[in-house]
Structure formats: C-alpha cells, structure tokens
Amino acid sequence: MSLDIVILAAGQGTRMRSALPKVLHPIAGLSMLGHVVQTARLLKPDSIQVVIGHGAQLVREMLAADDVNFVVQHEQLGTGHAVAQAVTHLKADNTLVLYGDVPLIEAVTLESLMKQLSDQSMALLTVNLDNPAGYGRIVRNVDGVVQAIVEHKDASPEQLKICEGNTGILAAPRVALTDWLSRLSNSNAQGEYYLTDIIAMAVADGLSVNTETAVDAMEVQGANDRLQLSELERHYQQRAARRLMAQGVTLLDPARFDLRGEVSVGRDVVIDINVILEGQVEIADNVSIGPNCVIKNSILRAGAVIKANSHLEGADVGEGADCGPFARLRPGTVLAARAHVGNFVELKNTRLGEAAKAGHLTYLGDTEVGARSNIGAGTITCNYDGVNKSKTIMGEDVFIGSNSSLVAPLHLGDGSTTGAGSTITTDVPAHALAVGRGRQRNLEGWARPKKR
Ligand code: UD1
Ligand code: CA
C-alpha cells in the first residue's frame, strides 16, 4: 500500500523564547524536524509533505531535499487545518501524520502503527500517561472501542480522568481523510480545526479506529520549551549510549557521552568520559578514546589510541596510531599505521607515514612526512605566504631538529636532517644535514647591565 507522510511544522513555539522556529531547534546536533524527516524516510513513503508557517523561509532552506515538499499554512488555524493544506499533494492510498516537534519517534513504532491500517480502519498512536494534562483524551465505549478524541480544554471532568492520551500521530486512508478534513468545524473551546475530530467521523462512517500504544512516552513527547528540549536530548543520548554498549563498546559513563551524528563501531572499543562524536565517525576494533575528546567526521582504525582532550575533524587515524593528549587533527590529516602525534600538535591536510612521529608543540600544514621520520618539538611548516599555500614533502627517516621553520614549498630527501632552530628555505638533498641559523658566538667576560 502506498503512503504519503505529512509532517506538521507550522507552529511558532512561543515558549522556546527564540528567534529560531521551534522545529529547527536541535537534538543531538540535528533539527527536530530533521530527525522526523529522517525517520519518515525509513518508511519509504511516496512523498513527504512538510506543513510550514512560522519561519517558513528558514525551515525551507534548512530542510531542502529532493524528497521533501513544503506546503505553507499561512495562518495556524489548528492541526486539522494544517493537514488540509497538504491534501492536494496527497496521491497515495494512505496518509500518515507526524509532528516536527516530536523528534524521537522511531520507525519500528510507526511500522507497527501502519499494520493497524486498512481501507476499513484508521490507526492511532496513543500513550498512557500519569499526568495527561494538555493531551487530547482517547474516549472508548464500555467495550473498549475508540469513539472519539476530546481535547483537554473541551473535556468533561469525567473525561479528564482518562489517562490514555493522543500522541497526535495517526494514519488513515487518503480518500476518507480528505472527506473528513473538508467537514471539520472550529466550534470548540479553542476555535481551531482539530485533526482529532476525524476520529468521531471515522466511527460515524463505520470505520474502526485501531490503536497502537507507545511503550516509551519520551518517543512521542514533543518539545515546547527549552527544558523539554533538554529532556529529549538526554533521552536521545541515553538511547545512543545503550545502543553502543549493546554493540560491545565500553562507555566509562554512559551519562557523559554524546553522539551528534552517526557512528559505526568495532569490538572492544573503550570510550572514556565526556567524549563527543559528531557527523560520520567510524571506529574499528580495540580503539581507545580518552576523556574530553571531540571527534568529527573521522576514521579511527584498529587499535588507534586517542588520548585526553584531543580534537579531531576530518582525520584518518591509522592502525595502532596514537595522538594526544591535546592533539588537534584538522581536515585532511592522515596518520599511517603506528604514527605518533603528541601534545600540542596541530596537523592540517597532512599525512604522517608509518611510524612517523610529531611528539610536541608542532604545526604541520600541507605536508607529507615519510615513514619513520621524526619531527622535533616546536617545528612549524610555513605553508602560507598570505596568498597561496605550498607543500612540504619529506622523505623517509628524515629528522627535523627542534624549533625548525620549514618554509614551503620544500622538499627534504630521505634520511636528511635539519639542525635545531633552523629556518629551512631551500630543498635538502637525501642524507644531508641542513643548518640555517646564525652561528653561536661566546663573548668572554661580558658584564650585565647595572640598574641606573
Ligand atoms: C495536539 C492534539 C492533542 C494531542 C497533542 C499531543 C489536536 C487538536 N490536538 O494538541 O490531542 O494530545 O497534540 O502533543 O490535534 N500545528 C500546525 N498548524 C496549526 C496547529 C498546529 O502546524 O495550525 C502543529 C504545531 O506546530 C505542532 C503540532 O501541530 O507541531 C501540534 O500542535 P499543538 O498546537 O501543539 O497541539 P496540541 O494543542 O498540543
Ligand atoms: Ca503540543
């Protein structure tokens, strides 16, 4: 059966007290609406319709994608009115309604909801709550058959006692839904066109309303303010941490781990506290990540060791290579197997060959370092003349003396050496020693100045 998904995202979210439209507030680094669109895609729908209103232009720009169509709801006249705006774009047999501010909904839940749907029934996702204040209540008859949804503000004292709440998420056959939407009225406590009124219409038309209950209330929780946003963030992170532990990762404290993107993990990975993984991160077997590391869009190969307080972005760390503490690997950094990067070393667009080392206080940009070469403390590549960038190419077994300035473009042959404190401006042949500094003079019997 074909499916269109409508995501409601037109509301303002006043309680966020923000210039940003509510649905653009992030959970785990991705907008709430972004999460819902991602989940929607997993259902392989024929179309995804996003109903926008407040901040429409920004939402459009942030979420633009080939498979997403935006429908503008100029005035927010209610959830029923919002879905009605998308009706002309709906072509599939069935329609599923999701919410841009309910970001943690999972595809498995939606898949079981969709199983409740047929041409003779609609499907409704409900949730049992200790405190259902604000929620629409699911009204059932003595046989437990759903009759209607009553909004909190329209409910009788008796109905307010119902603890089964409406999540808002529902699915219905398109043709019936279209008809019901055209018949909605706004004569209710809030003067809105309630989507929830279609339930009673379905019952009147002889369709059954089948429910699925969300086991995890956080999965269907919306974010109306910053507190709820933070609760959803924590819930998301707990879920991510549990998933990783189930895959065989040791997290020294799952409450101090944050995933803002996607990670794949091998076996026996150990992650210490306060680590943030962002974007796409690949972690192979036996990798160890020390505390307070931020790792973005990087590959950590088997046995790599990332020590405390390191910051990696766009890096490829080879088998058994290590970096940190306090290493900064910027985009284009490649560490070959067993390469070593120590503290206060910044690498950008640079490859360290097998077992090459840059142990301390170094900047290497646009550089290739051959196998087993050793970069002394305080070495700087001068790769930028203010206009253009140039490369430094080093052979194998090169030894760079401490505090060398390597002025690119530069080529240093295999086995070459530079003297400590040198400024190297011309190529160094293989196995040569290059010294580029003033000779030391000792002035005997020199008297220090005296205070006047
Ligand atoms: C709605 C449901 C309620 C349910 C609750 C769950 C209705 C009438 N009520 O109530 O039964 O328990 O959600 O949270 O459906 N929106 C638009 N355009 C509009 C109005 C709303 O896009 O004109 C969007 C909002 O941005 C929001 C969502 O729809 O994402 C829900 O709207 P909201 O006003 O929060 O509905 P509730 O009153 O919470
Ligand atoms: Ca709401």
The structural domains of the chain, ordered by start, are: 3-220 (3.90.550.10), 226-434 (2.160.10.10)
Residue 135 Cα to ligand 2 midpoint, Å, equals 8
Nearest-angstrom CA–CA distance, 154 and 135? 11
**CB-CB neighbours of 41 under 10 Å:** 15
pTM of the model: 0.94
Three-state SS for the chain is: CCEEEEEEECCCCHHHCCCCCHHHCEECCEEHHHHHHHHHHHCCCCEEEEEEECEHHHHHHHHCCCCEEEEECCCCCCHHHHHHHHHHHCCCCEEEEEECCCCCCCHHHHHHHHCCCECCEEEEEEEECCCCCCCCEEEECCCCCEEEEECHHHCCHHHHCCCEEEEEEEEEEHHHHHHHHHCCCCCCCCCCCCHHHHHHHHHHCCCEEEEEECCCHHHHCCCCCHHHHHHHHHHHHHHHHHHHHHCCCEECCHHHEEEEEEEEECCCCEECCCEEEEEEEEECCCCEECCCCEEECCEECCCCEECCCCEEECEEECCCCEECCCEEECCCEEECCCCEEEEEEEEECCEECCCCEEEEEEEEECEEECCCCEECCCCEEECECCCCECCEEECCCCEECCCCEEECCEEECCCCEECCCCEECCCECCCCEECCCCCCCCCCCCCCCCCC
303 lines ligand 1 (CB under 6 A): no
Residue 204 Cα to ligand 2 midpoint, Å, equals 27
In sequence order, the β-bridge partners of residue 9 are 52
Nearest-angstrom CA–CA distance, 328 and 343? 9
127 lines ligand 1 (CB under 6 A): no
196 lines ligand 1 (CB under 6 A): yes
The stretches in the chain having pLDDT less than 50 are none
What number does the ligand 1 atom closest to the CA of 193 have? 8
Considering just the CA atoms, what is the radius of gyration of the chain in Å? 31
For the purposes of burial, counting CB atoms within 10 Å of the CB of 213, is it exposed (0-12), middle (13-18) or buried (19 or more)? Answer: middle
Q: What is the pLDDT of residue 276?
A: 98
Strands 94-99 and 164-173: antiparallel
> Nearest-CA neighbor of 48 among 93, 109, 6?
6
- Ligand 1 binding pocket mutation candidate from 7, 32, 51, 79 (most atoms within 8 A of CB): 79
Q: Would you put residue 255 in left (φ > 0), alpha (ψ -120 to 50) or beta?
A: alpha
What number does the ligand 1 atom closest to the CA of 81 have? 23
300 lines ligand 1 (CB under 6 A): no
Residue 179 Cα to ligand 1 midpoint, Å, equals 20
13 lines ligand 1 (CB under 6 A): no
Residue 259 Cα to ligand 1 midpoint, Å, equals 29
Nearest-angstrom CA–CA distance, 451 and 446? 16
**CB-CB neighbours of 413 under 10 Å:** 18
98 lines ligand 1 (CB under 6 A): no
> Nearest-CA neighbor of 420 among 400, 406, 439?
400
In sequence order, the β-bridge partners of residue 357 are 340, 374
Annotated catalytic residue: which of 74, 152, 235, 360?
Answer: 360
What number does the ligand 1 atom closest to the CA of 73 have? 18
Residue linked to tokens 């029934």: 121
197 lines ligand 1 (CB under 6 A): no
Residue 96 Cα to ligand 1 midpoint, Å, equals 15
Question: What does the pLDDT look like over 251-271, one tens digit per residue?
Answer: 999 999 999 999 999 999 999
To the nearest 10°, report the CA torsion of 418, 408, 314, 234: 80
Residue 79 Cα to ligand 1 midpoint, Å, equals 5
8 lines ligand 1 (CB under 6 A): yes
Is 152 a residue of the active site? no
What number does the ligand 1 atom closest to the CA of 224 have? 35
Q: What is the pLDDT of residue 1?
A: 87
